[in-house]
Each structure stands twice: as structure tokens, then as C-alpha cells.
Structure 1
């Protein structure tokens, strides 16, 4: 082995370590500080296939923790680009908002070849996105569908305030059912960001329901426990991604 080029740890081995650290922290046995991680290659098929949906979620939780603590993995993007040229084995497909302040790959500290990404204002689903998700999971083998909303969402606020602008008007109509189904006793206006955030979370829940309702392919994969479909909310202020099941 060339001592000047040490072998980088695999994502699989790193994932095992992060899961172990998480278990120690949860059980109160102790807390550990993980060293800075280096990912010189994209996910391999073996590494991806060895991950369960829950392991993918934990992987993203650890990535988000690194993001919040400003100690991201040292991604060698050029190496990941070269490594994934012959094939890609992403662990998840993420449906998130187009908001420039909420880039899913960055806030989850993911690299090239690790996630499929779909972005649309208000993180709503439609036929094209469902078809893309079916490819990601049924064909390419992704283990997780993650719908990610975020705080202070402009699309949600626009839906609350009945904004109208060309094709945007129809898009915002897709968010409006979440307004009606949000239980909230305070001021129900777009200027109240507490209400906006409550609607944004409900919108994530309804998007997940629509995915299950409108894609028999994904519903079957979930029923067979081959994938999980989960929601999340990203806080623009604190940077934390909260995961939840619907």
C-alpha cells in the first residue's frame, strides 16, 4: 500500500460507526465526537444495497448534524464524478422546494451519486415527479423517498395569500388543501410565519398521502417494506432537518 495515499473508509463502515455513536447517545451511555469524514468515491451498489431505509435516514441525520456543526465531510467531488460515471446507486430520492436557501444535498451533506433530487415550489407531487420516483426506487433501487418542506416557505405563503401569477396560480392551488386541513387557532395569514410553518408541515403530509394514492408502484414497494416514504421539515433559522413518518 502506498503510504502517501491511504485507503479511505467506505460509507458502509462509516455508517456502522455513526449508528453505534447514535445508539450510545440515545441510551445515555456517553457521547462521542466523530472525526471529519472523507468520501473519495460515490456510493457503490454493495454499500447502497446493504442499507435499510432506516439506515439511510440515520445517514442523513448524521449528515445534517455535520452541516449544523460546520464540519462537512471532505467530498472529493471530482473522484465521485469519475467513480459514478459507469453507474449510479443512490440511496434515496428527495422531493424538496426550489427555495435557494434549502438545498437538500448541502443540508444533508450528501455527495455526487448519493441522492436523486426533485425540486418544485412547495414540494408538491405530480405525474412527472411520481414517474421519476418510480424510476428511482423500482428501477434504480433507492431505499427512501424523502419529502422535505421548510420553514418560511414562500410558495406556502403565496397559497395562503391567494397569490396569482401565470402558471404559478395553478401550482399554488395544489398547496391550498393543506391550508384547510391545518389545525391552528392563531392568525391564519401569510404574514404569520408560525401559521405558514404549520401549513408547510401539513403540505408535506398531504404530499406523502398523494404519492401513496397516485402511485401503485411506490405503494406496493412500501407495503413490501422495500422502501420508506417519510417527511421532513428543514429550519431556515437553525439548520436542522426534522424527520417524521406519516
Structure 2
């Protein structure tokens, strides 16, 4: 499988970009890999890069976007931070990726059993981590289903907060980045939420 060029990147639609990621995750789940020469991709990307996707995911060691979507060098802008939370720097990175470089899709990828989500649900306070976990609070406050055991020991509550955190992050991207929002409105990109299951490797894409 060859590295994306400017021509192949430009020819992709947002829908096709999503399909490529879905097919890649299907290969990953079935323990298959596309045939790639990574050293060749190093050479092919030495003069420039033309990734087709921008993925905001957690720093969790089990959630490498390139691996779980079976992509190669030069295919993905991977933005990783605990709890896949959003800040100004990440928004700026997304604007660069979509407007300047031309990626066709933005994925906000949460995952099951996320330590940052569990920590936020338990109201953990620890140094600079405190401010990061506070960014998950809107998702916790938005979870209205769980009436008891609203903490990190309740898997159902944690899962609900994980999904809401993804959804609210997407809302923030649209509200806080005019550049990315306009690209979506013009149908030049898609913004999609998803959750990766650390038990089976499958990515559940939101509608």
C-alpha cells in the first residue's frame, strides 16, 4: 500500500476517508494488516506529507490510531492527550491539519476503561492533572441517566461519560473553531465521534 500523495489525498471525499478508517479497523480486529513497506514510506514522506485524517485520541498506550485503524506513515495526524480533551492548541492543530494540509475527516476517539475519565468521575485532584480532568466535568454533569454510584467504579456511568465527552468535544470544535466549522458546513470534511473498545479492538463510530 502506497503513501498518500497530494493527488490521492485531494481525490478523497470525507465519506471515503471514513470508509478507509472503518476498513482499517476491521483488518485490525481480524489480525490482518495491509502490506506496507514502512521504510519506503519514510522515503516517500521525506519531502512532504498528505495525511487524509486527523484523529484526537487519548494518550492511553492501547489506543494508537495508526495501529487500530491499520494506517501507515503519513496517513494520519494523530493528536493524543489524556481523556481526548480539547484545548486551544489542539484546535489550532486541527485547523492546520484540515485547512492547510487538507485532511478530509476529524475523528474524536474516546475509549473504554479510560483512566482519565475514571479519574474525573472520582474527582481526582493531582497537580497539573487537576485542570485537565476538569475538562471532563461537562460530560459528567450532562450524564442524567445514572442516579446512584456516580463515580469511577460504576462501568455504566463511566461508559456514558466517555460517550458524552466525545460528543461535547465535537460540539466545542464546531463552536470554537470557525475554520473547522466552515469546512464541515462546506462538506469539505466530516467530524465524527467514536469509541474504541479496549477489550476487543473494535471502534464504534457514532451516527
Same fold (TM over 0.5): yes
Per-residue displacement from partner, 1:176-226 (whole Å, max 9, x unpaired)? 110110232363220112211110110000000111111011111111111
Within 2, Cα distance between the matches of 1:222 and 1:69? 32
User: Do structure 1's residue 70 and structure 2's residue 31 form an aligned pair?
Assistant: yes
Distance in 2 (alpha carbons) for counterparts of 1:75 and 1:159: 39
**Alpha carbon RMSD of aligned pairs, Å?**
1.0
Q: Residue 158 of structure 1 corresponds to which residue in structure 2?
A: 119
Please say if 1:198 is aligned against 2:160. yes
Distance, in Å, in 2 between the alignment partners of 1:222 and 1:123 is: 20
Q: Secondary structure at the match of 1:42?
A: coil
The DSSP-based 3-state class of the residue aligned with 2:55 is strand
The answer for the alignment partner of 1:90 in structure 2 is 51
What does residue 206 of structure 2 align with?
A: 244
Distance (Å, rounded) in 2 between the aligned partners of 1:60 and 1:89: 16
Pick from 151, 175, 189 the counterpart of residue 189 of structure 1: 151
* Counterpart position of 1:35: none
Aligned length: 206
- Which of these residues, 32, 41, 56, is aligned with residue 17 of structure 2? 56
Higher relative contact order (CA 8 A, sep 6+): 2
The whole-number CA distance in structure 2 between the counterparts of 1:204 and 1:183 is 16
- Residue in 2 aligned with 1:145? 106
Q: For structure 2, which runs of at least 5 residues remain unmatched after alignment?
A: none
Task: Mark the runs of 5 or more structure 1 residues left unpaired by the alignment.
Answer: 1-38
Task: Tell me the distance in 2 between the aligned counterparts of 1:87 and 1:171.
Answer: 33
Counterpart of 2:192 (choices 224, 230, 243) is 230
Within a 5 Å distance, the mapping from 1:166-181 to structure 2 comes to: 166-181=127-142
**1:119-158 Cα distance to aligned partner (Å, 9 max, x none):** 0001011110111110000000111100000000100010
For the structure 1 residues 180 and 88, does the alpha-carbon distance in structure 2 shift closer, same or farther, using more than 3 Å as the test?
same
Does 1:209 pair with 2:197?
no
Partner Cα distance (1:75, 1:165) in 2: 42
TM-score for both structures, normalised by structure 1: 0.82
CA distance in 2, matches of 1:197, 1:74: 35
Report the Cα offset of residue 51 of structure 1. Answer: 1.0
Tell me how far 1:108 sits from its aligned partner: 0.3
Q: How far, CA to CA, are the matches of 1:230 and 1:71 in structure 2?
A: 25
- Alpha-carbon separation, structure 2, partners of 1:141 and 1:172: 31
